[in-house]
Structure 1
Amino acid sequence: MRELGVPLERDLDGLDWRDESLGARIRVALWLRDEVGVGGTFTKQQVRAAVSGTEQVDRRMRDLRPAGWEIRNYRDKPSLRPDELFLERIGRPVWEKEHRAAGLRQISARTRRQVYERDGHMCRRCGVAAAEEYPDEPGSHARLTLGHVRPHRSGGAAGPEDLLTECARCNETVRHLTGVQMDREQVWDRIEQLPGKDRKNLLAWMMHDAREQTPTERVWGMYRQLPAELREQLKRDLYDLLRR
C-alpha cells in the first residue's frame, strides 16, 4: 500500500479521495486507485478508516464490481488472510461523469417498499426480522437490505420480481457461495428428520419459492422494522390490551 500524499503521474484529474463532497463510491474507487493500486492488498477496516463518516462503505465498494472492478477475497484467492482483499483490476473510472452510473441499477423507493412489504420485512433466506438479534450471534442485530434473485453482474434486472429481502449477513454470504457449502444429501437428511406436517409446509414453501408467513409472523416483521421507541409503545399497548 502506498504512503499517503505520494503524487502519482496518473492523478491528472485533480480528484482526491479525501474530498467529502464526492460520493462514497467515487471516494472508495479513488482510494483504491491512488492508495492501493492493481496488485495491492488492503482490508475493509482500512477502507472504513479512509472513507469515514459514510454509511455502508462496504456496499459502495461492492458496487464497483459490476463496473468491471475485480476485488478478490480469501475465498477466491487462498493466499489472502480472512481480513484481506486484493485489487486485481481497476474497472471503469466511476469518478468521471460519463461513468458515474456504470454498473448501478437504480431501485426506486416504491419498489424497495413493495419488496419489503411483500416479504413481511423479514429475510427470505434465514427468516430474521429487521433489527432482530441473531440467535447464533448474541449482540448482533439484523439489518435488512435487498438482494437479487439473479446476481447484478450476471445481468439481472431490478424489478420487484427480481429482488428479495435479505439481511446484510445473508446478502454477504450468498455473494461468496461456491456450491460446496451444503450438498443435496445434507439437506435431504434434515428434510427426512422433519415431522410429516413440517414436510408438507416445506413443500408448499418450495412450490411458491417463498416461506408462507402466518398473520402473526407478518405483524412481527412489520413490528421489528419500527424504531425502538415505537416498538416499546406497541409492547405496552398490547400488554394493556391483554390485561383487560
Structure 2
Amino acid sequence: MVEEEELSWRNTHLGTRIRVALWLRDEVGEGGTFSKARLREVIQGAEQVDRRMRDLRPAGWVIKTYRDKPSLQPDQLYLEAMGRPVWEPEHRAAGLRQISAKTRRFVYERDLHMCRRCGIAAGEEYADDPGTRGRLTLGHVNPHKSGSAGNAEDLITECARCNETVGHLTGIQMTKEQVWDRVAALPNRGKRDLLEWMEADHRTLSPAEKAWGMYRQLPAVLREALRQDLEALLKS
C-alpha cells in the first residue's frame, strides 16, 4: 500500500486519475459540487484532467452534470458517490481499458489522422476558436459506461474538444435549431453532401483532404520540408 503521506492530490508523482480522485475525496466529498475550471486549477501540469476525471466513472464514481441534475449550473459538477479507491495498487486499473500502441496507430491511420466528429486535423486551428488547435486522441464509438471495448472497431479518432463534448463535460451545447439554421443556409450541393455523410455516419474526404490529415500529423520540420517539395514540384 502507498504510504499515507504520499496519498495527496498535491503529489505530482502520482498519476492524474489518482490525483483527481484524491482531490475529490479530500476537498469535495460526496454530495459536494465543483467546477472543471477549479479542477484544472488545482491539478496543474497534468494532461487531460477532464478525461481522467471521466475515467473514474467506470470505477464506480458517480459524477453528475447539469444534464443529470437540473439544479446545477452548466459549469458545475456534483460528486454523488465515490467509487473504488483507485489510489490503492489493487484498484489502479479499475475501469480502465488498455489500448495497445499497435491498435492506437491503426485507428489513427484508418481515420487519416483527422477527428471523425468535426474533421479537424492534428494541430489545425479551429475556425470558431482562433488560437486553439486540434489535439487528437482516441474515443469510443459507444460511451465508456455502455461497455465498449478497446478494440479498433470500438474506437474512433477524436480531437480533445469533441472527446470532452461527447463525455458531457463541456459547457452548453448547440441546439438542434442552431445546427439546422446552418444546414438550411448551405447551397443544395452542400445539403446533398451533408445528407450523404449523415447516412454513412462518415464524412467523405477528397484526396487532398486525406493528404492534409496525414500531412498535419508530421513533425513541424518535416511539414516544412514537404511544403517546400510541393512548392518546387508545382513550379517545375
TM range (shorter): 0.7 to 0.9
In 2: Cα distance, 1:159 partner to 1:35 partner: 36
Residues 16-95 of structure 1 aligned to structure 2 (within 5 Å) = 16-95=8-87
The residue identity in structure 2 corresponding to 1:44 is K
TM-score (structure 1 length as normaliser) = 0.82
Displacement of 1:198 in angstroms is 6.0
The aligned residue for residue 203 of structure 2 is 211
Report the AA paired with residue 93 of structure 1. P
Query: How far apart in 1 are the matches of 2:139 and 2:106?
Result: 14
Q: Match of 1:225? A: 217
Q: How do 1:1-244 residues align onto structure 2 when only pairs under 5 Å count?
A: 13-14=4-5, 15-176=7-168, 181-182=175-176, 190=183, 194-195=187-188, 199=192, 201-202=193-194, 204-206=196-198, 208-244=200-236
**Unaligned runs of at least 5 residues, structure 2:** none
Structure 2 CA distance for partners of 1:52 and 1:234, relative to 1, 3 Å: same
Change (3 A) 1:85 1:233: same
Aligned length: 230
Shift of 1:108: 1.0
1:82 Cα deviation after fit: 3.0
Q: What is the alpha-carbon root mean square deviation over aligned residues?
A: 2.8
Give, in angstroms, the shift of residue 228 of structure 1: 2.6
1:88-113 deviation line (CA, Å, top 9, x unaligned): 11011111122111110111111111
CA offsets 1:16-65 (integer angstroms, 9 cap, x no match): 22222221111110111011101112222322232222211221111101
Look at both structures and tell me which one has the larger radius of gyration over its CA atoms: 1
CA pair 44-240 structure 1, distance change in 2 beyond 3 A:
same
Are the aligned partners of 2:107 and 2:152 in contact in 1 as well (CA < 8 Å)? yes
TM superposition shift of 1:135: 1.0
Give the % identical residues. Answer: 64
Show CA shifts across 1:200-232 (max 9, x none).
Answer: x55554554322322211110011122333222
Q: Output the CA distance in 1 between the equivalents of 2:60 and 2:133.
A: 32
Higher RCO (C-alpha 8 Å, min separation 6): 2
Structure 2: how far apart are the matches of 1:33 and 1:149?
30
Please tell me the residue identity of whatever aligns with 2:212.
W
Q: Is the 8 A contact 2:51 2:164 kept in 1?
A: no
Which aligned runs of 4 or more in structure 1 are off by greater than 6 angstroms? 177-180
**Which residues of structure 1 form unaligned runs of 5+?**
1-11
